[in-house]
Structure 1
Amino acid sequence: MAKYPSASILLLVALVCVSGVAQINGLDIHNSICKTLVETRGYICQEHHVTTEDGYILGLLRIPHGRSGSKSTRDQKPPVLLQHGLLADAASWLLNPQDQALAFILSDKGYDVWLANTRGTDSSRGHKSLITKDPAYWDWTWEQLAAYDLPALFNYVNNQIGQKSHYVGHYSLGTLTILAAFPIAHLGQISTTLLRVATQTFLAEQFYIFGLREFPPLGRLEQTLQTILCIHPGVDCSYILTAITGPNCCLSPSSLDLLYEHTPQSTSTKNIVHLSQMIRSGTIRMFDYTLPLKNLQHYNRFTPPVYNMANIPKDIPLFLGYGGRDALSDVNDVKALLYDLKDHDKDKLVEQYVEEYAHMDYGLECQ
């Protein structure tokens, strides 16, 4: 299990509502999230860079105070780290108006807000020795994000602030990476037909076999949707967001426009393969190299180890929020997770269910 210094954790088991770029060492310096989505709203935004133990250079944004709060960064404000979900970046927390976007809500309530960007996204494409054209740059899944990215981010914030950090994670990648032993946790019952067809046809594996290490592959995904996935019986691609996430009730047109400007962000194809394996198997386990001897090299056993929910410390404060119309975080999968947590300290686990919310609707204040 990865180690995190003085971290209190808030997990959202749902995704919050939510150009030419010059680069230095793979890091964006123009049209940044700070300039386009934060400073334009009247907030101060700082850009930090964090280097992981395995060499990735991550863009980390900071909103040190709210519009009406103290402008001194020395004031002791509780820090909170926001981690986005799959195929997204820190912009996920900033797409709605100030009174509906979690990053701004927390900032105005007195939190010191830090916004992570996962390796491979526009703000985190740097590396000490690799470039994104190198296949080795993309040789990772969510396990490496848990082992390297989050510890580096927590340590950086802790060193800057000197006090424990809260954590808020978007479903899915944000909850997967906070604890390697506490992923999203179950994917076996997702109701989105489009993604089920994609996993059953081994779409990600085909991309990987053809040497496409960055996902989504440029020009290939749209063609694949049109020629393979969207023609499958039961798949309706008329509204692609609904086909993937379920019927979202509460996204404004302006928020959707901003969402489409900032997604999809890149991840590794290997990461998508790993998630696909979890959907097909219905289990939470390490990456399956498919060949028993290769698994033996990595794990000293022929099959990948399964994560044990019993290893989750029972006194970690957890908040689990989910929606009834979410096609990715199916209610039955969340109930399976809650069953896994049945022995968790009762005063440390809070559950909230909103019937009308789909995957992109859900958002709550840090508590």
Structure 2
Amino acid sequence: MALHAFCVLVNMIMAIAHQAYGSGRGSVGLVSGFIDPPTVGICSTSVIIHGYKCQEIDVKTQDGFILNMQRIPEGRAGGGDTKRQPVLIQHGVLVDGMTWLLNPPEQNLPLILADKGFDVWIANARGTRYSCRHTSLQPYEPGTLIALASFSEGLLVDKLKSAVLLSPIAYLGHMNSALDVAAAKAFVEITTLFGMAEFNPKGEPVTNFLRALCDYPGVDCYDLLTSISGKNCCLNASTVDLFLKNEPQSTSTKNMVHLAQTVRDGVLAKYNYGNPDFNMMHYGEAKPPIYNLSNIPHDLPIFISYGGQDALSDVRDVELLLDSLKFHDVDKLTIQYIKDYAHADFIMGVNAKDIVYNQVVSFFNHQH
């Protein structure tokens, strides 16, 4: 049975079980053995306390990185069909799985899906060195970008029944977040000073770099969430406070460089190593190949939801993505546009359940 993955920010976990946890499950290597949830972690702090079962597991990627994952196997009622469709939820860059568990149960997507009979997996990087690593593609794109890039090269599509992309990141040429634009302009040069593989926003020298960005025109670091994601309509203060206590998280420096290249070059291409010989070694070409999103299989069911106030996933960039999908089967592509939503509203909005999540559940049920 093909894996039904939720690509919100979807990452192909090319994982094999950590040898301490036994045999693998399925073609992506999710393990069949679990450890009891620790006293500190997403399961104990955000899931079990609401009456749900939750399992913690570490998986090891083929290139040796350990990812932490959580599984919510059923709703609070328990029982039911043991062959529930699995849904993989993957976070985006600098945001780990905690983000998906900020809202109360009645507004929380993983718990909504569990109550609706789905077997929910949450891919998380808390406690690991990097997030969003991808082992079969040279770039280390986050979230929706890794899904789109993979689909365009025929990867993952044989393991999916459908994909959901919320506030999708593909093209970034119109990104209007002052902080992100300033970072993209400065990042490729400044990374030569870091000398690090890990980009840790909470540690030096990255914090010094970010402080310097606060002096750029239009950047308001006193309202960091708005500076990054746009003018969100539907957040409450307690949710934002909790978010800022836990985020942002670490990622690969290469990941950030690649995003900066995408902004600056205006195209969606693989990682540019900055040297024609290095590019030739990795790609067989002097310049990194461009992802052709029109190659995404036209019969893959896709749900895309985007917002009119999103400073990261600008409407004009989403329209470029949709233009790449103009030959997609009409009955396989569902588009939702929310005029007042910015980037963070999709995962933390107080009305996200009614506006977005219920539509996601309906989409899943329609496909199966």
Bin of the TM-score, shorter chain as denominator length: 0.7 to 0.9
Does residue 6 of structure 1 match 2:28? no
State the shift of 1:232 in Å.
Answer: 1.7
SS of 1:116's partner is: strand
Q: 1:219 maps to which residue?
A: 204
Q: Aligned partners of 1:346, 1:76: CA distance in 2, in Å?
A: 30
Identity of aligned residues (%): 44
State the shift of 1:212 in Å.
Answer: 2.5
Given that 1:191 and 1:328 are in contact with CA atoms closer than 8 Å, whether structure 2 keeps it comes out as yes
Q: Aligned partners of 1:234, 1:254: CA distance in 2, in Å?
A: 26
Q: Aligned partners of 2:120, 2:101: CA distance in 1, in Å?
A: 12
Does residue 323 of structure 1 match 2:307? yes
Q: Aligned partners of 1:240, 1:48: CA distance in 2, in Å?
A: 32
TM-score, L = length of structure 2 = 0.76
Q: 2:183 maps to which residue?
A: 198
C-alpha RMSD of matched pairs (Å): 3.1
Given that 1:12 and 1:320 are in contact with CA atoms closer than 8 Å, whether structure 2 keeps it comes out as no
Q: 1:53 maps to which residue?
A: 62
Q: Aligned partners of 2:98, 2:323: CA distance in 1, in Å?
A: 33
State the shift of 1:80 in Å.
Answer: 0.8
Q: Aligned partners of 2:57, 2:83: CA distance in 1, in Å?
A: 19
SS of 2:48's partner is: helix
Q: Aligned partners of 1:264, 1:143: CA distance in 2, in Å?
A: 14
Q: 1:37 maps to which residue?
A: 46
Q: 1:122 maps to which residue?
A: 126
Q: Aligned partners of 2:312, 2:275: CA distance in 1, in Å?
A: 29
**Where in structure 2 are there 5+ consecutive unaligned residues?**
11-19, 21-34, 131-137, 152-157, 347-351, 364-368
SS of 2:261's partner is: helix
Q: Which has the higher contact order (CA 8 A, sep 6+)?
A: 1
Q: Aligned partners of 1:39, 1:167: CA distance in 2, in Å?
A: 27
SS of 1:287's partner is: coil
SS of 2:271's partner is: coil
- Report the AA paired with residue 241 of structure 2: D
Q: Aligned partners of 1:104, 1:47: CA distance in 2, in Å?
A: 16
Q: Aligned partners of 1:244, 1:328: CA distance in 2, in Å?
A: 7
Q: 2:96 maps to which residue?
A: 89
- Report the AA paired with residue 6 of structure 1: A
* 1:340-355 aligned within 5 A: 340-355=324-339
- Report the AA paired with residue 213 of structure 1: A
Q: Aligned partners of 2:165, 2:39: CA distance in 1, in Å?
A: 27
State the shift of 1:315 in Å.
Answer: 0.3
Deviations 1:78-99 (A, max 9, x none): 2111111111111121110111
Given that 1:208 and 1:269 are in contact with CA atoms closer than 8 Å, whether structure 2 keeps it comes out as no
Given that 1:10 and 1:319 are in contact with CA atoms closer than 8 Å, whether structure 2 keeps it comes out as no
Q: 1:133 maps to which residue?
A: none
* 1:180-195 aligned within 5 A: 184-195=169-180
State the shift of 1:236 in Å.
Answer: 2.3
State the shift of 1:207 in Å.
Answer: 2.9
Deviations 1:288-343 (A, max 9, x none): 01112221222222111111112210000000100000000000000011011000
Q: Aligned partners of 2:4, 2:103: CA distance in 1, in Å?
A: 26
Given that 2:163 and 2:303 are in contact with CA atoms closer than 8 Å, whether structure 1 keeps it comes out as no
Given that 1:103 and 1:113 are in contact with CA atoms closer than 8 Å, whether structure 2 keeps it comes out as yes
* 1:11-160 aligned within 5 A: 11-12=7-8, 29-70=38-79, 75-117=82-124, 121-125=125-129, 141-142=140-141
State the shift of 1:51 in Å.
Answer: 2.2
Q: Aligned partners of 1:341, 1:221: CA distance in 2, in Å?
A: 37
Given that 1:215 and 1:266 are in contact with CA atoms closer than 8 Å, whether structure 2 keeps it comes out as yes
Q: 1:281 maps to which residue?
A: 265
Q: Aligned partners of 2:338, 2:57: CA distance in 1, in Å?
A: 36
Q: 2:134 maps to which residue?
A: none
1:169/1:89 Cα in 2 relative to 1: closer, same or farther (>3 Å)?
farther
1:166/1:343 Cα in 2 relative to 1: closer, same or farther (>3 Å)?
closer
TM-score, L = length of structure 1 = 0.76
Deviations 1:103-160 (A, max 9, x none): 111111111111011xxx324449xxxxxxxxxxxx972299959xx99xxxxxx9xx
State the shift of 1:41 in Å.
Answer: 1.4
Given that 1:205 and 1:273 are in contact with CA atoms closer than 8 Å, whether structure 2 keeps it comes out as no
- Report the AA paired with residue 141 of structure 1: Y
State the shift of 1:52 in Å.
Answer: 1.9
1:274/1:189 Cα in 2 relative to 1: closer, same or farther (>3 Å)?
same
1:210/1:79 Cα in 2 relative to 1: closer, same or farther (>3 Å)?
closer
Q: Aligned partners of 2:256, 2:282: CA distance in 1, in Å?
A: 19
- Report the AA paired with residue 177 of structure 2: T
State the shift of 1:196 in Å.
Answer: 0.9
- Report the AA paired with residue 187 of structure 1: L
SS of 1:319's partner is: strand
1:45/1:361 Cα in 2 relative to 1: closer, same or farther (>3 Å)?
same
SS of 2:221's partner is: coil
